[in-house]
Structure 1
């Protein structure tokens, strides 16, 4: 599956949707209400902390009600986005993969479904997606990960991960809070609530909203599996032709052989196999075949 572009709730168009100022403003107001409730409670001892909790639980309640009415994964994503906005964050990411980490140490990038992201955010994402330090940290720690903590420990990251952070920051997609999702025997996934670039009050607000975000994330993931079988499978990240070329390559066929079998030119076959390497973040064709077999994407029997 190609990483899904986000769209306005209630519309049929996906590509190129950029959230209107109204939705960003709504999230900002929620963020500041939750942040300021916490500040007021700390400063004066008044019951404003309960107000923040009430706002958070309202977001969870709207998620539950909205999901029950959703008829597709796209509609469910719109409901999730609405709940995340109520929680105070203007953007959300949902990703999952059947295997997150191969025995070789290679990370398997998860296809993403997003809402509230800028137009063409994924233009160069294929080059970075296997090096996402936020998803990796959440997976390794098995707990929610505040992006600012990862950024403050950038000296522990490899160059590709640092480059990934720069790419994300350049898009204005910062800060964020990633909740890991583990379904034994099914998949590893995550849901990330992303801010609007402002760091003032972020850590405190993220700490307060974190438990509710985790509850929303786990409820949504379980609902998506129960109702829709989860998000589209990893194999859909490769096109039919790419899968065909890779499968024949795995069976020992040369580029020229594959061209004859599929009635394509040898150059076209090379283009498909090059795209496979890029999508799977493989260093060569053998590496691509090994990763695809581990993921159950191809069958060479």
Structure 2
């Protein structure tokens, strides 16, 4: 990966050096905003998942967006779209930069995904480029650079900046990981299991039945079954085995 990014407008950016002098992820995100601003973009978002985005039950983890310069109030209604975000889902159809206008024109989008696009459009966020980074061990990161101006030749802009944005994203991601900023990136907090629920799930993961777990923990079978039932509900699983798999994937047990 190159540390020096050259935009389509002939502007050099040593993003690696600037991230290395940042005190934390928040300041590094400011650097990213300043950099994409030189390309002509007005907003930027960055998101990260330390585990594979899709769970064993087929569900998708919600993607928490860390943003700069987004309109006030945009996040109030976004929670319902965090799992179905069409730009997020498009990242798993390839590795190259994604043109938002082409995603919006996709006739196969679900109704809720079209609603997600319309929601952002209402805030003026309709022209963007999303760049995914599929990292080792299933980790995932994504950056979107957005422009809210209407007086642009979008097709020309996209063609001009997609390559440098691709290099920018991968250099930025490697730099923040090298700087150990990974744990500072805001992600969605998953429903927490109680200590008793975790105990029961740990023994379930070890292959113990509810009867065996009740003896180990000195609790009634009914209590163990209740804890496991609650864990299944919290993890949005359909059965005990699936709940165990999800808990392991999320690093809870």
Q: TM-score range by the shorter chain?
A: 0.7 to 0.9
Offset of residue 283 of structure 1: 7.5
Runs of 5+ consecutive residues of structure 1 not aligned to the other structure: 1-49, 262-269
Quote the RMSD (CA, aligned, Å). Answer: 3.5
Aligned residues between the structures: 226
**What's 1:75 paired with?**
27
Residue from 39, 47, 53 that aligns with 1:100: 53
User: For the Cα contact (< 8 Å) 2:56–2:245, is it kept in 1?
Assistant: no
CA 1:292–1:117: 2 relative to 1, 3 Å? farther
Runs of 5+ consecutive residues of structure 2 not aligned to the other structure: 1-5, 203-209, 211-218
In structure 1, distance between residues paired with 2:185 and 2:194:
17
2:190 counterpart of 1:244: no
**What's 2:114 paired with?**
162
**What's 1:297 paired with?**
251
Query: Secondary structure of 2:66's match?
Result: strand
Task: Identify the structure with the greater helix proportion.
Answer: 1
**What's 2:175 paired with?**
223
Q: How high is the TM-score relative to the length of structure 1?
A: 0.64
2:87 counterpart of 1:137: no
CA 1:118–1:247: 2 relative to 1, 3 Å? farther
Residue from 136, 151, 154 that aligns with 2:104: 151
Q: How high is the TM-score relative to the length of structure 2?
A: 0.75
Query: Secondary structure of 1:107's match?
Result: coil
Query: Secondary structure of 2:133's match?
Result: strand
User: For the Cα contact (< 8 Å) 1:73–1:228, is it kept in 2?
Assistant: no
Larger RCO (alpha carbons 8 Å, 6+ apart)? 2
